[in-house]
Amino acid sequence: MPTDDNTDHSDNGDLDAEAIAPQLGPALRRRRKAASMTMQELADRCGLSQPFLSQIENSRAMPSLFALHRVAQALGTTTVGLLDPEYPEYSEVTLVRADDSSGFVLSEGARTRFLTPGDGHRLEVNETVAEAGLVSEPTEHEGQEVIMVLEGSVEVRLQGRDPVELHAGDTILYPATTRHQWLTGQVGARFVMVTSPPSF
């Protein structure tokens, strides 16, 4: 199944694109129609082509996690909400064990685990493991964001500010409305990202 980044989503126990696409397509269509938005309007808002969105809705293509994030933002939901539409909308307590959390390929060489599944939370927590020298797509959204590095090093770039290099144990908080992106160091990194309100 094609993806917009040609990434295999089935390695290392990650969520399988072949399994997810049949769920994602209908979920995306329902969200888009509920928002009274045409496919072209959604394409204009999220920066993806209308033909590619049509392939996603018809379960013939799988976007990268970054691309899906843009789609979710345009629809007023989160990436997790689109990927797992059958998950209960809200639960006061959610438990994710170290060995039972599926991951998703964020980009080639980077994998993310969703640690606060379900809708209705006031924040979301994700853990990312990324190889050396990776650069995330720049993004901006509502709320605040925190990055805490567990292993390796991450450089955080905030528009209009000097880059900040984080090492294991370092934490940074910033307004998510500021355009931001991260870069991993020479040995890669494992880090936790907390976003409030949920965005990814």
- The domain spanning residue 185 has which CATH number? 2.60.120.10
pLDDT for 43 beyond 90: yes
Percent of the chain past pLDDT 90, that is, above it, reads 46
Q: List pLDDT tens digits, range 150-164.
A: 999 999 999 999 999
Give the domain range for residue 162.
122-196
Please tell me the total count of domains within the chain. Answer: 2
pLDDT for 167 beyond 60: yes
Confidence of residue 8 (pLDDT cuts 50, 70, 90): very low
Q: What is the CATH number of the domain that holds 23?
A: 1.10.260.40
Residue 110 falls inside a structural domain: no
Q: What's this model's pTM, rounded to 2 decimal places?
A: 0.72
Among residues 53, 83, 113, the one where a domain terminates is 83
The pLDDT of residue 89 = 56
Question: Do 126 and 77 lie in a common domain?
Answer: no
β-partners of residue 114 are 126
Among residues 29, 52, 83, the one where a domain terminates is 83
Give mean pLDDT, residues 3-10: 36
Residue 183 falls inside a structural domain: yes
CA distance to 25, 67, 75, 142, per residue, from 32 (Å): 11, 16, 7, 20
Give the phi and the psi of residue 14 in degrees, each rounded to 5: -70, 160
